[in-house]
Amino acid sequence: MITLTADSATDLFLAANQAVRRDGMIVTPRGMATTEVLGAHLCLTNPRRRFVDAPPARILNPAFAVAETLWILSGSDGPWIFQYNRALTRYTDDGRLQGAYGPRMRKWRGRIDQLDGVRRLLTRDPDSRQAVIQLFDPERDTRGHRDVPCTLGYRFFLRAGRLHMHTSMRSQDLWLGFPYDIFAATVLQELLAGWLGAELGEYHHFVDSLHLYDQHLSPASELPGPNEGSPPPSMPPLAVAWERMPGLLAEVIAGRCPDEAGEPWTTFAALMASYGTWAHGDRDQARASAHDAPGDLGRALERWYDHLTASARPAATVGGA
């Protein structure tokens, strides 16, 4: 069991990589060798410092981080997400990711909006211990689909005017999955805090099996230690009225953003538009729009384009996370 606390997702990621490589044991589920720690509690004290950025060993695609977050929040399981990460198609059944979080959160069994339920519950009973979003569904997830949710559920606690979030995961690929999962979860946490008129509290990430696959051990060994280098940036405050959210999400997913939405929504829309341009082959225009995107995520997207170019990946497979 490991317990780690950091002020940024980057430092939490770096510390977790050190701990797994130091304390992990070799296991081979489905014949794939991994170094695993059973039981991990990772606490992020400043959820606005949500973007993991540890170049050159680990470079993330911020457009995919944004796209996946909006895909989940909008309740979608649509195939448009594959434009941002073609690797996801390996886990589809009948062209869909059967474990997609969005429909489970926003339309459980086609009828229950769990996110709205949590919002309403904490509005009328701020001290409630029942603010739960359930993602794992035994009826669906024991049918042998390629995609089974790693996340079991989210819980929220409103205490002393601050909204704290707990995430429970049965399994977590530290190298590929964690950086994107913590980004999406803390955006959800911050939005819910805004709807409740609360301050942003701590984010707690509980994992049963935290692991690194063998092919990631070497790059993980090249990572710096936590708290080395310049402090990771904090994103600007993120807010939108509950009633306004569906329309704003649709606009941002399309690469557009009303001027009044402000940062970071304008940045999210710019990244979505830039990556759409990249995926359609206009590399120069994509780079130019990434350069013009406000904030640190725009700089991160420029690094991702450099990474794709250096890797010389075929156009049909770019976008993998």
Which tokens is 320 given? 């993998």
Looking at residue 39, its pLDDT comes to 98
Q: pLDDT tens digit string along 149-172?
A: 999 999 999 999 999 999 999 999
Which tokens is 251 given? 């606009």
DSSP of 87-132, one letter per residue? GGGGG-BTTB-TT-HHHHHHSBTTTB-HHHHHHHHHHH-TT-S--E
Q: pLDDT tens digit string along 47-103?
A: 999 999 999 999 999 999 999 999 999 999 999 999 999 999 999 998 999 999 999
Residues with catalytic roles: 150
Q: Give domain status of residue 132, yes or no.
A: yes
Q: Give domain status of residue 186, yes or no.
A: yes
Q: Give domain status of residue 291, yes or no.
A: no
Average pLDDT over residues 291-295: 89
pTM: 0.95
Looking at residue 312, its pLDDT comes to 60
Positive or negative CA dihedral for 250, 100, 140, 133? Answer: negative
Strands (E), the chain: 2-6, 25-27, 34-44, 132-134, 151-159, 162-173, 199-213
Q: Are 189 and 204 in contact (CB under 8 A)?
A: no
Question: Which of 77-86, 226-235, 240-249 has the least mean pLDDT?
Answer: 226-235
Looking at residue 227, its pLDDT comes to 84
Q: Give domain status of residue 310, yes or no.
A: no
What is the extent of the structural domain holding 48? 2-236
Q: Give the total number of structural domains in the chain.
A: 1
> CATH code at 71?
3.30.572.10
**What angle, 0 to 180 degrees and rounded to 10, lies between the N-to-C axes of helices 265-279 and 296-311?**
20
Name the band, by pLDDT with cuts 50, 70 and 90, for residue 295.
confident
Alpha carbons 89 and 103: distance in angstroms, whole number: 18
Q: Give domain status of residue 231, yes or no.
A: yes
Name the band, by pLDDT with cuts 50, 70 and 90, for residue 260.
confident
Q: Give domain status of residue 170, yes or no.
A: yes
What is the signed CA dihedral for 24, 91, 250, 117, rounded to 10 degrees? Answer: -60
What residues contact residue 103 under an 8 Å CB cut-off, 6+ apart? 75, 76, 77, 110
Looking at residue 313, its pLDDT comes to 53
Q: 40 pairs with which residues across the strands?
A: 2, 207
Alpha carbons 295 and 270: distance in angstroms, whole number: 11
Q: Give domain status of residue 207, yes or no.
A: yes
User: Considering the chain, what is the average pLDDT of its residues?
Assistant: 94
Positive or negative CA dihedral for 226, 180, 24, 311? Answer: negative
Q: Give domain status of residue 311, yes or no.
A: no
Name the band, by pLDDT with cuts 50, 70 and 90, for residue 315.
very low
